[in-house]
Structure 1
Amino acid sequence: MLSQQSTTGFYKAPVCKGLLGCMFLTCTAIHVPMIAHLRQYLACQIPQVIISGQIWRLLFSRLTFIHTKDLICSALVIYYFRIFERRMGSRKFSSYLLGTCTIATILEICTVMLLSQFDIDYHNGGYLPPGLYGLIFPLYVNYFLDIPRIAVSSFIGVPLTGKTVTYLLGLQVASTSQATIISSLCGLVAGIIYRKNIFKVQRWLVVPRFIAKSFDKLFGWLLNSSEPKYKQMGATLELQRQEQTDILEQQYYYNRTQEFRQQRGQGYSERLVDDGVNADGILGYFLRQRQRPTENLEPSQENIQILVDMGFEHARAVEALRSSSNDLETATSILLRQ
């Protein structure tokens, strides 16, 4: 998840960066002995806070997690879910968090009060578990529906995908107690309600534009991140990993062509070197070569053997050479793009 090549930091994700900073600063503050007394402000007992008018405790209880393991798992999840902020834009993403967190909190309060009517106490006297459940778990709805499932491995017959670790992190955060399970489920329901725009929540739970601009002017210098040097940036982690794999593959095939230089003299590998020693130059050369006209020729055994030595299957090599009229460069390009 934190690979240097497959991630791009918090570029175009200042809200997620601010959430992580707030979480770590608040968690550190409540564990420092000198100011550990601030932990009491995270306590939010239902319905006493409503009766006493201390609604601010609802906000404070959403600031951070008490347990360090929940903090770390949630930080990784938020770091990954920054892809949604890039897709939506910071203002729309903030509106999404505002709407889902508000709905999730209302659902939690209603659930606690409903359970109390049946003398069921999962919350130790009505205390809501502190944490960002109403911010994190609604995003799992979008994550499940919008991010493609790509199998990368299997374990005892169970397929593992690039999304498995993210789900396991969310399960770890949700399974701390019975109260956290309820909070997590309320967050999921809130995500469904907001996505389906039930009761037109997307219209009335919106961050005003002037507030967004004010926050950008006040904290933009602190939260904005510079554009990464790695230019290719997929919309999902799976695409970013694929881009990294493509670059490594291109570099590998370039190294293979270098080995053929001694065998083929000034053949196609020499022309690749003239185009540049980086992967972009090689790929550009392949794409340009695909445009040139070729004659209708049958694949030669020499070209088939070269492609097989490069790691391609014999049948695919023959098919690619036949499609390119025995042009080795075009056939290599076809196989790479497949």
Structure 2
Amino acid sequence: MASSGWFDFYQAPASKAIFFAVGLGSIANVYTLPAPWTGYDVTAFSGVQLHRVLAGQFVFGGIGELVLGLGLIYQFRMFERRMGTARFLSFTTMSTLLSITFQMAVLIMNPGFDDRELNQVAIGPYSYIFALFVHYFVYVPKLQKYRLLGAEFSEKSFMYLWGSQLLLAQGNQSAIAACCGMIGGLLCLSDKLPFNKFSWPDPLVRFSKDYLAPLFASRSPAEIAAARARREEETYARMGMDPATIAQQQQQHRGTNAQGYQMDQLLPGPGFLGGAGGGGFGGGFGGPAPPQPQANVAPPSEEDVARLTEMGFDRDSAVEALRRCNNNVARATESLLM
């Protein structure tokens, strides 16, 4: 699968819409909107000022939180791809509503109403982000483990560190919002509670699919790769160069080294979260694409296929991912989470 760059929302239109809504709304809130419009304290509930409650779910109060939050929203787009947009929106909507309910209870029952630190909840999509952190904790496997100073870490540790910075960005105010979001996410994952059965009405789903989703649709990695190839061919043609010759030279340059390893396999993969084209911490920020299958690669073993199907992936997708990643289970898992 070709890399489509760091800004890849393929099959994640809702995440893309939320990403832009949070970004633009937060900038407007920081620089233009009056504070009472987005203030998120106990008066927003006691006065039934729903515009403040709703606006508080989509705008951050500062640029620092905005940068941290947008990065997490982008990373968690993989859950929309995995769950499907309708199911993803049902989960995030119900978990956010539960989180708001818990926030309201905390504010109303808190005796420290005269203390600004205690009677406010930080504004921003904390409910959305930290409910998805529950999904991340439960469903994203640890692919690599290592020890540092006697403690065990994995590639997921960076994401937890990233989330903790957002959780503590506004002290108690952001911690309350984040913890309520995690509780809402946990309740929505439980099979013994009715919350995970919530779904949007069918007419609204059809309307969103027909009219809203196309507005935020993104091209597939294959379409982006084809467009890039066409641009390269046009560039070579303008320069008087033969595209076939250039392609042959590039293929030779990617040849195996003396030990027979493909050079692109020695570089960082698609990232800790499987973000398309993401090398480095967190994934999704412009690294190399997953390795392309070699002609002489052996068929995937049943044991490797079973390891992937046990994670919830269907057999055909598991076999194709292993074939594409040269039977590397870790890389195949990452590609399936993309």
TM class by shorter chain equals 0.5 to 0.7
Q: What is the deviation of 1:4?
A: 5.1
**1:196 and 2:190 correspond:** yes
Q: Structure 1 residues 104 and 154 mapped into 2: Cα distance closer, same or farther (>3 Å)?
A: same
Residue of 41, 50, 68 corresponding to 2:37 = 41
User: 1:106 is matched with which residue?
Assistant: 101
> Partner of 2:120 in structure 1?
127
In the aligned structure 2, how far is the partner of 1:220 from the partner of 1:162? Answer: 32
> Is the contact made by 2:13 and 2:216 (CA closer than 8 Å) also made in structure 1?
yes
- 1:256 is aligned, of 255, 258, 272, to 258
- C-alpha distance after superposition, 1:40-70 (max 9, x if no partner): 3111331x33343322321111111111111
1:158 maps to which of 151, 154, 160: 151
Measure how far apart 1:24 and its partner are. 0.9
| One-letter amino acid of the counterpart of residue 24, structure 1 | G
Shift in Å, 1:207: 1.6
**Which runs of no fewer than 5 residues in structure 1 stay unpaired?**
232-250, 260-278, 289-335
Q: Looking at CA atoms only, which structure, 1 or 2, has the larger radius of gyration?
A: 1
Higher percent of residues as helix:
1
* Unmatched runs of 5 consecutive residues or more in structure 2: 225-252, 262-290, 300-325, 329-338
Aligned partner of 2:16: which letter? K
Relative to 1, partners in 2 of residues 1:41 and 1:19: Cα closer, same or farther, differing over 3 Å?
A: same
Q: CA RMSD in A?
A: 3.3
Name the counterpart of 1:26.
Answer: 25
**TM-score of the two chains, using structure 2 as the length reference:** 0.64
Q: Is the 8 A contact 1:8 1:230 kept in 2?
A: no
| Residue 84 of structure 1 pairs with residue 79 of structure 2 | yes
For residue 170 of structure 1, the aligned residue among 150, 157, 163 is 163
Give aligned pairs, total: 245
- Alpha carbons 1:63, 1:131 under 8 Å: kept: yes
Taking a change above 3 Å as real, the CA distance of residues 285 and 63 of structure 1, as seen in their structure-2 partners, is same
Seen in structure 2, the aligned counterparts of structure 1 residues 286 and 51 have a Cα distance that, compared at 3 Å, is closer
Flag the 1:144–1:284 CA change in 2: closer, same or farther, 3 A. same
**Matches of 1:58 and 1:77 in 2, distance apart?**
22
TM superposition shift of 1:124: 3.8
Residue 22 of structure 2 contacts residue 58 of structure 2 at CA under 8 Å; is this kept in 1? yes
Given that residues 98 and 206 in structure 1 are in contact (C-alpha distance below 8 angstroms), is that contact kept between their aligned partners in structure 2? Answer: no
More RCO (CA 8 Å, sep 6+): 2
Matches within 5 A, 1:48-59: 48-59=43-54
Identity of aligned pairs, percent?
Answer: 20
C-alpha spacing 1:256/1:14, structure 2 compared with 1 (3 Å): same
- Matching residue's letter, 2:296: Y
How far is 1:142 from its partner?
A: 1.4
Please tell me the residue identity of whatever aligns with 2:53. Answer: L
